[in-house]
Amino acid sequence: MSLSLKGRSLLTLLDFSPQEIEFLLKLSKEVKNENKKGLVFRRFEGKTLALLFEKRSTRTRCAFETAFGEEGGHPVFLSTADIQLGAKESIEDTARVLGRMFSAIQYRGFKQETAEALAKYSNVPVYNGLTDLYHPTQALADFMTLEESFGSVKGRKLCFVGDGRNNVARSLMVISAKLGTHFTVITPDELNPDDVLRKKCADLAEKSGAVITVTPDINAVKGADAVYTDVWISMGEEDKREERVSLLTPYQVNQKLMDLTGSKNSIFLHCLPAVKGEEVTADVIDGAQSKAWDQAENRKHTIKAVMLATLTKL
Ligand code: CP
Ligand code: NVA
């Protein structure tokens, strides 16, 4: 299967069809195999990538820089503490200028609207490296990891336990609804994902056969193939610490919760960075059921696949 995504931006997986997402996952697998065989290509030679960061990053930055650089491309890291974006100069004008100099732009920051404006005014592909609303490249790596563990993701049960309204939970809901994976968000009522997104995902799920559930009951992990958690306090929400710790302490992923799945073959996932002792205990994330480190590696392969598909002729 080959289909053209050349010139496309990845702002949210809502913009991609199930076939397009499956194509990206297949390409990611090929890219990983090439990497394991030690094959080296120059598929980004002569291309440039702007890496705009308003928030911190380890995995996303390193994945973009290494995936692009090792194929002969030139990535340029631009912290928004140093450039004009939205400060002296409008986002539209920065986008216009970057579009004249770069082949593509990665943006990590607060507003989804900033990613959208960059795409609209730059005329080059823009990749959302995390906003307050979505983290689409993460969800691709997560589903690649699920495929590695279970083969097909269709009909599998994925449970997200924790802050159900955050960017990672929202992106997992979208990709699950598109690909037919049953997705349960286990979160206190105060942190439920918003109704607009739930409605969109319910409509998508009807077509794919996925069952999307939101519940405060941790016993809903029963039968889960994978249990996923993320930090209780996302970047930019530091003032919510006290409230989140109080709401989410009963939702910590520990061995007792993993055992509630009823299977030793269930896996544990985490996008990282993790605060061990808060959302997950060290024995779980460092234990035999954890795939968190494969997930982190898969960020690079999936991100390379997205850039290959959108910047080159495959
Ligand atoms: N998972 C993830 O996005 O990690 P970073 O914040 O380190 O990029
Ligand atoms: N929800 C987290 C994800 C970090 C990769 C955050 O936004 O900080």
User: Which residue from 186, 63, 82 is spatially nearest to 135, judged by alpha carbons?
Assistant: 63
Average pLDDT, the chain: 97
Nearest CA to ligand 1 atom 6: 57
Residue 19, pLDDT score: 98
Give yes or no: 74 in active site.
no
Residue 2 scores a pLDDT above 90: no
Q: HSE-up of 208 (CA within 13 Å, CB side)?
A: 28
- Region 301-312 average pLDDT: 98
C-beta 54 within 6 A of ligand 2: no
At residue 34, the pLDDT reads 98
Numbers of helices and strands, H then E, in the chain: 11, 9
Cα–Cα distance measured from residue 233 to residue 211, given in angstroms and rounded to the nearest whole number: 27
Of 1-5, 118-122, 180-184, 236-240, give the lowest mean pLDDT range.
1-5
Q: CA quadruple 99, 101, 104, 108: dihedral positive or negative?
A: negative
Residue 1 has pLDDT above 60, yes or no: no
Distance 168 CA to ligand 2 centre (A): 7
Gap from CA of 39 to ligand 2 centroid (Å): 32
Instruction: Write out pLDDT tens, residues 105-160.
Output: 999 999 999 999 999 999 999 999 999 999 999 999 999 999 999 999 999 999 99
Please confirm, yes or no, whether 108 is among the known catalytic residues. yes
Q: Does the CB atom of residue 169 touch ligand 2 within 6 A?
A: no
Instruction: Determine which one of 8, 43, 106, 138 is catalytic.
Output: 138
Over 60: is that where the pLDDT of 163 sits?
A: yes
pLDDT tens for 57-90 read 999 999 999 999 999 999 999 998 888 787 789 9
Q: What crossing angle do the helices spanning 292-311 and 59-69 adopt, rounded to 10°?
A: 50
The pLDDT, as a whole number, for residue 86 is: 77
